[in-house]
Amino acid sequence: MPTAVWTGHDLLNGKPVETLTIIFCTTGCYWGMGEGCTMCGYVNDSADSKPSDDDLLAQFARAADKSTPRTSLIKIFTSGSFFDEGEIPSLARKRILEAIGEMGSVKKVVAETRPEFVTEIRLHDTLAVLDRYDISFEIAMGLETSNDTIRNDCINKGFTFAEFIRASQTAANMGVTTKAYLLLKPPFLSESMAVDDMLSSISDTAPYASTISLNLCNVQNGTLVEELYNHKDYRPPWLWSAVTILRTAKAKYSHITFMSDPVAAGSKRGPHNCGECDKDVAQVLRDFSLSQDIGILLDVDCHCYSLWEKVIELEDYAYGSYLIK
């Protein structure tokens, strides 16, 4: 069984299309098995024993059952890296891609991987299959931030911005686009530091990514972020921060597609505002992602907006504590 499968909508060449998202159950992220990232609980999702190629194919078949004849975009996650041979051996990868091609409706595949696995040979093998079916390919990488100090000290991601650039340029040279995931508010940053980090990360990443997805940090089980949260040393980001970042970024980089699907929005362990407006503001972020219409982000308000402005202004002086729960 795959870890998770769901259908949804995403943009393809500027138009909303039906998507199928698959999280394969593999042995999991090698980095997560070792040091791991401070906010990532995906290691809990991994298989106890290594699935065989046939198991991986069977997982795909189960997932494909949820597709429709209009499924145009397939997003592949593994709670690790699609290009890691230890998780998905090359033969299984080839067979999965062929099965996607045989579906007949798919126009684009996006697969998540850490940058160290992005090599010409793996891209070549992937394109050799997808080109036969006229399917375009995009790699998705969890860059999190362009700031190496924050990525290292706050997230413990284990790769540098230079490695991300190398991977995205290798991909670009072969006609493969890059989607970058950025992480709003890793631990140890105030709300305003987190917003500034995202704005500078977007500027730094813009030359290398055609899509930037703003991931809002949430509290996952068994993580350092959870430990800090339990000690009242971490609060997930405000949804207003995401609205502000996307508004500013889209105005500046209109050619880039910006996405944000705030997981666990409105709960204490997820990104939230005052509790009253969370549902609406989270929906605004999703609506913007599908329309890229900045106007949607301007058309939302709540009494807590001024409270968030105070947090932005004052939290830097709070010696690492958050001001409003």
Contacts with Zn ion, residue ranges (CB under 5 A): 273-274, 276-277, 302, 304
Least separation in angstroms between CB 34 and ligand SF4: 9
- The H-assigned helical ranges of 157-261 are 161-173, 191-205, 224-230, 239-252
Q: What is the distance between the alpha carbons of residues 4 and 254, in angstroms, rounded to a whole number?
A: 33
Q: What's the rounded Cα separation, in Å, for the pair 233 and 127?
A: 46
Shortest distance (Å) from residue 2 CB to ligand SF4: 16
Nearer to Zn ion, 202 or 304 (CB): 304
> Which DSSP string corresponds to 29-60?
-HHHHTT--TT--GGGGS-SSPPPHHHHHHHH
Q: Quote the tokens at residue 163.
A: 């490695």
Residue closer to ligand SF4 (CB basis): 36 or 271: 36
Q: Enumerate the β-bridge partners of residue 111.
A: 76, 139
Residue 261 C-beta: closest distance to Zn ion, Å? 20
In whole angstroms, how close is the CB of 226 to Zn ion at the nearest point? 25
User: Could you tell which of Zn ion, ligand SF4, none binds residue 37, using a CB distance below 5 to 8 A set by kind?
Assistant: ligand SF4
Query: Which residues in this chain contact ligand SF4 in the complex, by CB under 6 A?
Result: 29, 31-32, 36-37, 40, 42, 79-80, 114, 142
Residue 304 binding partner per list Zn ion, ligand SF4, none, with a CB distance cut-off of 5 to 8 Å that depends on partner kind: Zn ion
In the list Zn ion, ligand SF4, none, the entry touching 202 (Cβ below 5 to 8 angstroms by class) is none
CB of 207 to Zn ion, least distance (A): 36
Binds 273, which of Zn ion, ligand SF4, none (CB < 5 to 8 A, cut-off by type)? Zn ion
Residue whose token pair is 């996006």: 110
CB-nearer residue toward ligand SF4: 5 or 183: 183
> Which residue, 156 or 248, has its beta carbon nearer to ligand SF4?
156
DSSP-derived secondary structure for 135-159: -EEEEEEEEE-S-HHHIIIII----
Which amino acid is located at 17 in the chain?
A: V
In the bound state with ligand SF4, the residue whose beta carbon lies nearer, of 60 and 82, is 82
Q: Look at residues 171, 188, 192, 191 and name the one whose alpha carbon lies nearest to residue 180.
A: 171
For Cα atoms 201, 143, 271, give the angle at the middle one, nearest 5 degrees: 75
Indicate which of ligand SF4, Zn ion, none lies near residue 60 (CB less than 5 to 8 Å, by partner kind): none
Q: Which does 274 bind (CB under 5 to 8 A by kind): ligand SF4, Zn ion, none?
A: Zn ion
Adjacent-strand bridge partners of 21: 6, 75
CA distance 87 to 260: 27
Q: Which is nearer to ligand SF4, 14 or 34 (CB)?
A: 34
Closest contact distance (angstroms) between CB of 211 and ligand SF4 is: 18
3 state SS of 71: strand
Q: Measured from the CB atom, is 76 or 302 closer to Zn ion?
A: 302
Residue 178 contact, options Zn ion, ligand SF4, none, Cβ 5-8 Å cut-off depending on partner type: none
Instruction: Kindly state the smallest distance separating residue 51's Cβ from ligand SF4, in Å.
Output: 17
Residue number with CB closer to ligand SF4 (79 or 190): 79
Q: Binding partner of residue 114 among ligand SF4, Zn ion, none, CB under 5 to 8 Å per kind?
A: ligand SF4
282, two tokens: 């989270």
Give me the least distance between CB of 291 and Zn ion, in Å please.
22
Residue 80, C-beta contacts closer than 8 angstroms, at least 6 positions apart: 26, 27, 28, 29, 30, 31, 32, 42, 46, 87, 114
